[in-house]
Amino acid sequence: MFAVRFDPNNIVQEAVAGEESSSRPVKRARDLDDEGSNSSDDEEEDVTEIPEKDENGTPEAEDSTSSNVADGEGDIDMEETHELPKKHSSIISRFKQTISLQDQISPKDMVDNQEIAQEHVSGNALEQIPQPAIVKDRLSKQAASEHKSVAWLNTTKIHYDNSMIKPFSDFSNHLHPRLLQNIQKHFSSESFPIQTALLENVLPVINFSLEATRKHLTRRVGDVLVNASTGSGKTLAYSIPIAQLLFKRTVNRLRVLIVVPTKLLINQVYDTISKLSQGSGLIVSISKLENSVREEHKKFLQSEPDILISTPGRLVDHLQMQSISMRNLQVLILDEADHLLNQSFQNWCPELMQRIATDKQDERPGNVIKMVFSATLTTNTEKLHGLNLHNSKLFLMDSVKLYNLPAKLQEFLIRIPTAKSSYKPLILLHLLDFLKKSKILVFVKSNEASMRLACLLNIMIGKGLGQQHAIQTINSNSSKAENKRLVAEFARAHCRLQNRILITTDLMSRGIDINDISDVINYDPPISSQQYVHRCGRTARAHSDGNAYNFLVGKGEKDFWEHHIDEDLSRDVTAPAPKDWNEGPAPSESTEDNGKALISISDEEEQTYKESLVALKDKATGKSSET
Ligand SMILES: Nc1ncnc2c1ncn2[C@@H]1O[C@H](COP(=O)(O)OP(=O)(O)OP(=O)(O)O)[C@@H](O)[C@H]1O
């Protein structure tokens, strides 16, 4: 998982050189893939764990992609780079999309090619090669935005908004009484907006089918795509309908399969469904890498689960071992679907689709209800097409921008002049001092950078620069157990006396549900709008407040944020607009000029900072660091 090993000798050169060279992100995922797929999207199954070996002693297939993970930058989706035929079909598919978009352009918006041809070839005897129409800028921007979501065109859009909060008791006619009781007891008395939207649309159809004829249940309900912000309660949104569907089942058969990308998510989903299904006798099973596949195989044969939660790799193992049958499958759920669909190992998706068709002896779409959830739902036509969707409804808030941010997220842009980029760690320390009693995640571009930064901050604090903060880092030098312990400790920690800070790579950007993280700092910029959404989504969860701070060095990073991240984002009408920290006011009662306070560095501080860098180097090379 953590492929980049810590090289202490590089520690100081990179502390400075790395900061200086970071004014423009080097390589962007957007350049590689429309989806912005990136290293973190190929991470293995447990954010806190080191790659495991399978029974033969070889690394698990999922881990094979993870060697790129720790270094957030410059990573390329393995599938995109190595599977040429697939790449060709993707290019052809995009070409077709462009042609179809071009068909929608009205003649008045075309720029006359002939005129341009005249300009360029006059005096030249060569004949102009026919060119596609050039679209005027206004329309090209609009077309570009539509082009991004062209994969969603053939869906019925169901819009919802943040006002759609309802008491769960309003659904009492549609929910089994015990299920309603479980929801109110373990979760909440009110549904979140995406839950309201989904329950209103899906529950009546499920209940009608349960009472009338079950024959066409799956096709009647149709497929469900959900593009809802991080922390909006998607897990409960899909768990309630499936609990309602199965609450009165009499024979245990595998009827619901939930595929998630990480072990951590398996546990969260299992916890939710177990609480919901109390009193129903439903058998909910999980399948994950740390369990013995043979033990699981035996268990599933002895007692077929009603609901199985698995990661894709382990699912394929069970399909191949015939541990489970898809014959009675009614619902397939893909959680964090964009992440899952970016994973191509073991060809899990086509393999699963093929197996469903074979076991059900029905290859037509609609033989299983597919529910596809993400905060950054894929806009890749090819990937959605592979799911064989039928009568699909797309739940979304905004049809112009791609992704929604949590309603109560406040974003800050902290612009750092390129000349000051080598002081980034010190500027970070200023910010940490500014935030009080906070639980903070700091995202950096690589595993090594996280270790270096944590070490440097602790040295600076030790030398009297800034206040006391509890700073930890998730890194590969620690054991699997140690990383797990650190995350658990961070989740439990109170911040009454000092800030709790976890410095991490994008390993922590998905699937972490810690509701009291108050601040996320993008110390190194994310490489795509998707990554930004997931990082920021670790705070402001479940309709709580949260802040995201974006360090933007020089014009390059600011432009990148504006044109490649912000452009894809939609914010609720009541949500605060991003604030430029340099223009204040910052989230503090302080009346001083916060922007300057953050980036201005006194001579004394500069001196101590330089000493800290030397101490860091000494520490890395094994010399005594104390002066
Ligand atoms: N109706 C509700 N009322 C209060 N809290 C809720 C409700 N529904 C869900 N939650 C809580 O909100 C938190 C976030 O939910 P969940 O993890 O399902 O979000 P998500 O949309 O899947 O986020 P992400 O995309 O980041 O994984 C959880 O702690 C969950 O228990």
Residue given tokens 């008045």 in the structure block: 108
Q: Is the CB of 509 under 6 A from ligand 1?
A: no
pLDDT at residue number 99: 59
CA of 365 to the centre of ligand 1 (A): 30
The protein residue with its alpha carbon nearest to ligand 1, atom 4, reads: 188
Q: Is the CB of 231 under 6 A from ligand 1?
A: yes
Q: Is the CB of 375 under 6 A from ligand 1?
A: yes
β strands within 338-389, DSSP E: 369-374
**ipTM above 0.95 for this complex:** yes
Q: Is the CB of 267 under 6 A from ligand 1?
A: no
CA of 94 to the centre of ligand 1 (A): 35
Report pTM.
0.77
Q: Nearest-CA neighbor of 334 among 401, 383, 300?
A: 383
CA of 187 to the centre of ligand 1 (A): 9
Token couple for 74: 């410059």
Query: Does residue 48 or residue 383 have the better pLDDT?
Result: 383
pLDDT at 427 over 60: yes
Which of 234, 274, 510 has the most ligand 1 atoms within 8 A of CB, as the residue to mutate? 234
- For residue 23, what pLDDT band results from cuts at 50, 70 and 90? very low
Q: Is the CB of 405 under 6 A from ligand 1?
A: no
The protein residue with its alpha carbon nearest to ligand 1, atom 26, reads: 230
pLDDT in tens, 77-98: 323 333 445 556 666 666 666 5
Q: Is the CB of 191 under 6 A from ligand 1?
A: yes
Of 106-115, 234-243, 437-446, which gets the smallest average pLDDT? 106-115
Q: Is the peptide bond before 585 cis (omega within 30 degrees of 0)?
A: yes
| Average pLDDT for the chain | 79
Helix axes 234-246, 193-211, angle to 10 degrees: 10
CA of 332 to the centre of ligand 1 (A): 20
CA of 543 to the centre of ligand 1 (A): 9
pLDDT at residue number 98: 57
- Overall CATH class of domain 146-400: alpha beta
Q: Is the CB of 234 under 6 A from ligand 1?
A: yes
DSSP string, 235-253: HHHHHHHHHHHHTT--S--
CA of 542 to the centre of ligand 1 (A): 5
C-alpha–C-alpha distance, residues 376 and 373, integer Å = 9
pLDDT at 329 over 60: yes
Domain ranges of the chain: 8-103, 146-400, 405-621
C-alpha–C-alpha distance, residues 486 and 415, integer Å = 31
Which of 404, 541, 543 has the most ligand 1 atoms within 8 A of CB, as the residue to mutate? 541
Q: What does residue 542 show for φ and ψ, rounded to 5 degrees?
A: 50, 45
Token couple for 23: 């004014």
pLDDT in tens, 525-569: 999 999 999 999 999 999 999 999 999 999 999 999 999 999 999
Stretch 460-485: mean pLDDT, rounded? 86
C-alpha–C-alpha distance, residues 576 and 124, integer Å = 57
Note the residue count of the chain. Answer: 627
Stretch 242-265: mean pLDDT, rounded? 93
Token couple for 130: 């026919």
Q: What does residue 263 show for φ and ψ, rounded to 5 degrees?
A: -60, -35
pLDDT at 404 over 80: yes
Q: Nearest-CA neighbor of 465 among 607, 608, 597?
A: 608
Of 145-154, 212-221, 354-363, which gets the smallest average pLDDT? 145-154
pLDDT at 126 over 60: no
Stretch 485-506: mean pLDDT, rounded? 91
Question: SS3 for 14-50, per residue?
Answer: HHHHHHHHHHCCCCCHHHHCCCCCCHHHHCCCCCCCC
**224: β partners:** 371, 393
Q: Is the CB of 609 under 6 A from ligand 1?
A: no
3-state secondary structure of 499: strand
Strand 134-135 with 110-111, pairing: antiparallel
The protein residue with its alpha carbon nearest to ligand 1, atom 16, reads: 233
3-state secondary structure of 330: coil
Q: Is the CB of 522 under 6 A from ligand 1?
A: no
**333: β partners:** 258, 371
Residues 241 and 202: beta-carbon distance below 8 Å: yes
Residues 30 and 528: beta-carbon distance below 8 Å: yes
CA of 269 to the centre of ligand 1 (A): 11
C-alpha–C-alpha distance, residues 110 and 357, integer Å = 46
pLDDT at residue number 74: 30
Q: CB neighbours of 165 closer than 8 A, spacing ≥ 6?
A: 190, 191, 192, 193, 196
Q: Nearest-CA neighbor of 154 among 86, 222, 220?
A: 222
Q: Is the CB of 232 under 6 A from ligand 1?
A: yes
**Intrachain domains 146-400 and 405-621 with the same fold:** yes
In angstroms, how far apart are the furthest CA atoms of the chain?
A: 85
Helix axes 603-621, 447-462, angle to 10 degrees: 120
- For residue 136, what pLDDT band results from cuts at 50, 70 and 90? very low
Of 144-148, 329-333, 413-417, 474-478, which gets the smallest average pLDDT? 144-148
pLDDT in tens, 59-79: 333 333 333 333 333 332 323
Q: For 90, how many CA atoms within 13 A lie in the half-sphere containing its CB?
A: 16
C-alpha–C-alpha distance, residues 163 and 167, integer Å = 12
β strands within 348-422, DSSP E: 369-374, 393-396, 403-404, 409-416
Closest ligand 1 atom to 538 CA = 26
C-alpha–C-alpha distance, residues 437 and 126, integer Å = 71
Which of 232, 239, 376 has the most ligand 1 atoms within 8 A of CB, as the residue to mutate? 232
Find the angle CA(547)-CA(227)-CA(62) to the nearest 5 degrees. 90
CA of 37 to the centre of ligand 1 (A): 24
3-state secondary structure of 511: coil
Token couple for 313: 């790799």
Stretch 280-284: mean pLDDT, rounded? 95
CATH code assigned to 405-621: 3.40.50.300
Q: Is the CB of 261 under 6 A from ligand 1?
A: no
The protein residue with its alpha carbon nearest to ligand 1, atom 22, reads: 234
